[in-house]
Each structure stands twice: as structure tokens, then as C-alpha cells.
Structure 1
Amino acid sequence: MPAPLPTALDHQGLLVQLQHGQEGALKALYDALAGVTYRVCLRMLVSPEDAEEVLQDTFLRLEAQAGRYDPARGTVQTFVLTIAHHLCLERLRARRARPQARDGAVDDPAFDLPAPSPARDPLDQALLGAALRSLPDTDRLLLEGMFFGGYTHAELAARTGLPLGTVKSRLRRALLNLRRRMTP
């Protein structure tokens, strides 16, 4: 029988161990969260080499910033993915490049969920997929552009032709809808 999937509570316990300098805690968190973190980095950066570098930097920064984690603001996975997201944005902005469509594909309005990994809760994945599908197409595309494309609000407004205030309002509404749908 396979080992049970780590839960958010397990991740939180590992982060507390990391905060107290216990050996093995960072490796255990890496083992549990590296798969989903790498897929987010790859989605944003396209380059496997860049994604691997940002993945490593993410866990180095996690070790340095473990004390900043606040369970009231989200899960450990959310904390790690936020670190990765910010590092990807820094890299995208530093090279002034945007991800290119892979294999000559055009922009697909469908949101590609990362492939399941042993460290990912299938229920969370199903809830996220359903929540994203329930959003209006424009809101979902704006979220993708912001989180995976690395575009700023102003850049999204220019790309879509929507007023800046509308872009900001739609993104805020979409994030609140996702949070509401993802909270049990």
C-alpha cells in the first residue's frame, strides 16, 4: 500500500521544524512540494533550466523566510508557491521576456492544471479545477496572464483593451470567487 499523501497539517509541522532548525525538515518539504512548485515555475518561465533554478531558489528562500509564515494567511503550499511566483516574476522582468507558446500552439483560453503529483491532494486539485472553470472566461484569462504570464495590471489592460480599473476589479473579484469556492 502506498504511503498516505502529506496533508496541509503535515506541511505546517515540517515548517515549524524548519523554523527551529531541525535537520531534514527542508528536505521533507522539498520532497512534498517540489513537483507542484516546479510545474508552476515551468508554466511561467517555459525554460526547464530557468524553472529548475527558480525551484532551488524558492526552497533556499523558504529556509531563510520560514519565520514569516502565517497560517492564518494560507497553507504552507500557498506560501511556497507565492515565493516561487515572486521569483519567477523577478526573472521574467529581469530578462524583459514573456513566455512563448510551446510547440507553436496559440494562446489557449483553457487553463492547464499541472499534472497531479504524489504530494498534491486530488480533492484540492478537483476543487481548483471546478473553481477555475466556474469563472467567466475573461476573468480566468486575466488570472492566467497575471500569475503565469507575469503581466502587470497595466500590461493586462493594454493587452485586453480593458480600462485599468476594470482589470483590477475583475482580478480581485476572480480571486475572491476562487477563495470562496476553495474554502470548505
Structure 2
Amino acid sequence: MSGPPVPTEETHHLIVQLQLGHDGALKALYDQFSGVTFRVCVRMLTSTEDAEEVLQDTFLRLEAQASKYDPMRGTVQTFVLTIAHHLCLERLRTRRSRPQGQPGAFDDAAFDLLARPSSRDPLDQALVEDALRSLPDTDRKLLEDMFFGGYTHAELTARTGLPLGTVKSRLRRALLKLRERTLP
């Protein structure tokens, strides 16, 4: 689904082209980020069908919101994954309000986001795995529940019994530690 990582300058150029309405820019961004975006969606939604729909919606929304991209706030990949994350959360919240069985859903224990897809860079894989292992178990669990389970801070507070401020502090500390360990 995706090729080797594209340098940030090139992806920035692609988002600018998308903002200007150039043909091919959306396809190039899709080719670059669809693989990682799909893996995040599957991990969050546990349904390949839902993940495929959210993947498509992500790139439609990217096209509509390209003008909102700010390179000072993050990379193009972060922008794309943020859109996908929000769409997954919307879908998860809809599911909670209308519970239903998910045919073909993966058993969470059997499905591992960090499973090595053939197009994934082994060095990136090792960095992410190492960074996650370096977190305390409680912090790692909070991150997984928030990003992949779709839980809000308030819901995490209710699930863990921790005060809201503690949940927010642990999540921020964990994210900073991940950033520190995975960014060059």
C-alpha cells in the first residue's frame, strides 16, 4: 500500500499542491500514507471493513481540509493520522451508542499493530517497539486505550479510577517520552 518514507520536504510540497488543487497530489499522498493510516484504523476499529471506509473518508477529508495544514504543528503524516484518528473516534462513539456485533472483527490479543507489514521500515518498527516498551505499563495502557480504544480522558478516569489530572499528566508524559525516543 505504501512505499518507502518520503522526506518531509517532499510531502510538504505535495500538501501545497493539494491546497492549490493540482491533479495527482491526493493520489501521491494516498500512496505515501495509506498503509500506515490503514494499520492505525484497523487497530482502533478491529474491523477491516470499517477501517477501509475510514481510510477512504480520511483522504476525502484531507482533500477538503488541506488548507488547514500547518507545518509548525506537525508533519503531513501527523496531519493525515490525526484526521484518521478523529474519524475512528467518531465511528467508535457511534458504535457505543448503538452496540452491535462486529463480524470478522479481530481478537484484540491476536491482532498486533506492531506486526511487521512488508512495506514497513524495520528500523522504524524497532524504534516504536522500543519506545513503547520503555513506558511504564500503566502509561502504555492509557495510551492504547485513548488512541486505539477511542476513550476520552473522562472515560479513562472512570475505567482506571485515577484522577483526571493524573490521567492527563501520564498521557502527556508518555507522549513526550515516545516523541523523544522516536524522533531524530
The TM-score, its normalising length taken from structure 2, stands at 0.85
Measure the CA separation in 1 of the matches of 2:144 and 2:108.
19
> 2:146 is matched with which residue?
146
**Segment drifting more, 123-132 vs 149-158:** 123-132
Q: Are 2:8 and 2:76, in contact at CA under 8 Å, matched by a contact in 1?
A: yes
Measure the CA separation in 1 of the matches of 2:108 and 2:61.
34
> 2:116 is matched with which residue?
115
The alpha carbon displacement at 1:127 in A equals: 2.2
Change (3 A) 1:59 1:117: farther
Measure the CA separation in 2 of the matches of 1:133 and 1:52.
29
Q: Are 1:128 and 1:182, in contact at CA under 8 Å, matched by a contact in 2?
A: yes
Percent sequence identity is: 74
Measure the CA separation in 1 of the matches of 2:42 and 2:132.
20
Measure the CA separation in 1 of the matches of 2:175 and 2:108.
30
The alpha carbon displacement at 1:12 in A equals: 1.6
The alpha carbon displacement at 1:147 in A equals: 0.1
Change (3 A) 1:104 1:37: closer
Are 1:102 and 2:106 an aligned pair? yes
Measure the CA separation in 1 of the matches of 2:101 and 2:134.
26
Q: Which runs of 5+ in 1 are unaligned?
A: none
The alpha carbon displacement at 1:4 in A equals: 5.7
Deviations 1:95-133 (A, max 9, x none): 215998834848x9xx74253453x54433332222111
Task: Give the residue type in structure 2 aligned to 1:168.
Answer: K
Change (3 A) 1:127 1:4: closer
The alpha carbon displacement at 1:33 in A equals: 0.7
The alpha carbon displacement at 1:174 in A equals: 0.7
Measure the CA separation in 2 of the matches of 1:79 and 1:55.
14
The alpha carbon displacement at 1:7 in A equals: 2.5
Task: Give the residue type in structure 1 aligned to 2:90.
Answer: E
The alpha carbon displacement at 1:71 in A equals: 1.3
Change (3 A) 1:150 1:90: same
Task: Give the residue type in structure 1 aligned to 2:15.
Answer: L
Root mean square deviation of aligned Cα: 2.5
Aligned length: 178
Measure the CA separation in 2 of the matches of 1:30 and 1:70.
19
Are 1:28 and 2:32 an aligned pair? no
Measure the CA separation in 1 of the matches of 2:178 and 2:128.
8
Measure the CA separation in 1 of the matches of 2:144 and 2:63.
28
The DSSP-based 3-state class of the residue aligned with 2:72 is: helix
> 1:183 is matched with which residue?
183
Task: Give the residue type in structure 1 aligned to 2:172.
Answer: R
Change (3 A) 1:142 1:66: same
Deviations 1:57-91 (A, max 9, x none): 00001001111111121111111000000000011
